[in-house]
Amino acid sequence: GPEATSRIAMSLPKLEFAKTGRSTCRECGEGIAQGVMRVGIEAFVAGRVCDCWSHVKCSLGAMFLEKCTAARGKCKATDEPFKKGDVRLAVCSKAHKAYYSMAGMGDAVRPIVEASEGEYTASDITGFLALSKEERAAVCAAVDVKATASAKKRSRRGSDVTIAEVTVAAVKDEKKDAADTPASANRRSGRRSSAVSAPPAPATPAEDEEGEEAGDSDG
């Protein structure tokens, strides 16, 4: 029902343009400029629940895959308990972690991978190569990854390139636009809309909401 859908949405990492320039990336320690895409997870900090923010690339670089060593904890997306031996993915923001099962990691991670505009794939996540072939295939499928014939050949030749390559919508669009003639591109230019809304206009002090950057002041 609506309540369950709302709860799941609240349990997934947030992906948004920074509303102000006051937040700080928990991973690299640098500021996140207004209008820059950022990833946030809820965490209990200094006695309150707040959002802990990271740059998209920093968030992807901090993620890791692992196998549960015990039947402990639940998936943040599905609320299903983990069993010993289950593969789970951790979305991190400094010391804070949100864990997702194979069934929940797609909804949690796919938008973040897509926001990297092709720079990250499932195989770049720490711990990916430690998984079995079947487990790697399941992780790739969860975040919309497919194997290409050329990548498979390079893998068989011993190349460092893995068989996993992310199918990112932005990359598809760029290839399609490159193949179009200038005339056809001009005809479509008036009808094409962006998949992501434009960065927000600079906020005035009166527009800032007290709780908007709840996790920003402490890093």
Q: What pLDDT, in 10s, does the model give residues 23-66? A: 999 999 999 999 999 999 988 877 888 899 999 999 999 999 99
SS3 106: helix
Q: Which of 14-23, 37-46, 120-129, 173-182 has the lowest mean pLDDT?
A: 173-182
Q: What does the alpha-carbon distance between residue 38 and residue 121 come to, in Å, rounded to a whole number?
A: 18
| More confident position, 39 or 96 | 39
pLDDT, residue 6, reads 46
pLDDT value at 219 more than 60: no
46 touches 56 (CB < 8 A) = no
Using CA atoms, how far apart are residues 122 and 141, in angstroms rounded to an integer? 9
Phi, psi of 31 (to 5 degrees): -70, 155
Model confidence band, residue 216 (pLDDT cutoffs 50, 70, 90): low
Q: Which helix (DSSP H) or strand (DSSP E) does residue 63 occupy?
A: none
Would you state the pLDDT for residue 49? Answer: 85
